[in-house]
Amino acid sequence: MRRPTIGVFDSGFGGLTVLKALLEILPAADYLYFGDTARLPYGSKSAETVARYAVEAARFLEDQGAQILVIACNTATALALERIVLAAHVPVIGVVEPGAEATALASANKKAVVVGTEATVASHAYYKALLSRGVTTHEKACPLLVPLVEEGWIEHPVTEQVARIYLGEAFSDGFEDADVLLLGCTHYPLLKPLFQKTAPAHVKIVDSAESTAHMVAAAFENYKSEPMTESLAERRGQPRFKFFATDSVEKFKKLGPRFLGHPIPDVQHVDLKE
């Protein structure tokens, strides 16, 4: 049975939380991760620019042998998924639809709160995806959380205070009884324990990174369902990785492990021509 090769694309480091979730479900796969670190953040760029960058990255990953593309960037998914799907020659999965689907299934009263970056919230991608599933949504941009995560302040009192303020505003204006909090940014899984601590006690937390990994796994159901016995693991070997970044590989090797959960020994620099 051939090992699948999964290409994961993000504007930077956050998509590594999607890769981490994929590894837990599909350990017998090969992974290509592309972080467009030279051109982040995508959130401040136009939809046209984001689409152009994302299509370039998708083509690069296809050229490297990706059999499926995972757009692990909320901004790129929200602003450019259709363009990527049209340009790609392999299946494409973004983070918005899986997160919305998991939220709709988890919500008893069909009311949810979505937290994300300003660009993702401004796109209303989650709002539309949830509305189509009968869920009313209060979206809340939390711009301070990404830099706090990248600073490594996961358990810092300042981060907890910021989260409490954001969630206090998010669960207001008629959404006090919303029963699901959807993490609409791939940096936020690192803050899941903090969100569990600061969100109202009745709230379930849905992680779009985790939901996306489950959707990708469904595309490779035979790999997911076959138990990883010792002999099978030996036959297939451990997951093989290739990491690509458009900016400093040293910075990627330093910051990346915070998101992936283990060291990243080798990163290849890529210069995508405009």
The set of long-range contacts for 232-239, using a CB threshold of 8 Å and a minimum separation of 24, is: 232/28, 233/27, 233/28, 236/3, 236/28, 238/27, 239/23, 239/27, 239/28, 239/29, 239/30, 239/31
Longest Cα–Cα distance of the chain, Å, equals: 56
Q: Which amino acid is at 112?
A: A
Q: Answer yes or no: 142 catalytic.
A: no
Sign of the CA dihedral running 199, 113, 35, 264? positive
- The answer to whether 264 and 252 have CB atoms below 8 angstroms apart is yes
DSSP letter assigned to residue 36: -
Residue 187: closest CA among 249, 145, 124, 156? 145
Q: Position of tokens 């791939």?
A: 186
Q: Answer yes or no: 73 catalytic.
A: yes
Q: Position of tokens 């939380």?
A: 17
Cα–Cα dist 34/36, whole Å: 6
Catalytic residue among 73, 100, 104, 209: 73
**Residue 109: CA count within 13 A, CB half-sphere:** 15
Q: Position of tokens 């998010």?
A: 170
Q: Which two tokens stand for residue 243?
A: 């990491």
> Catalytic positions, please?
73, 185
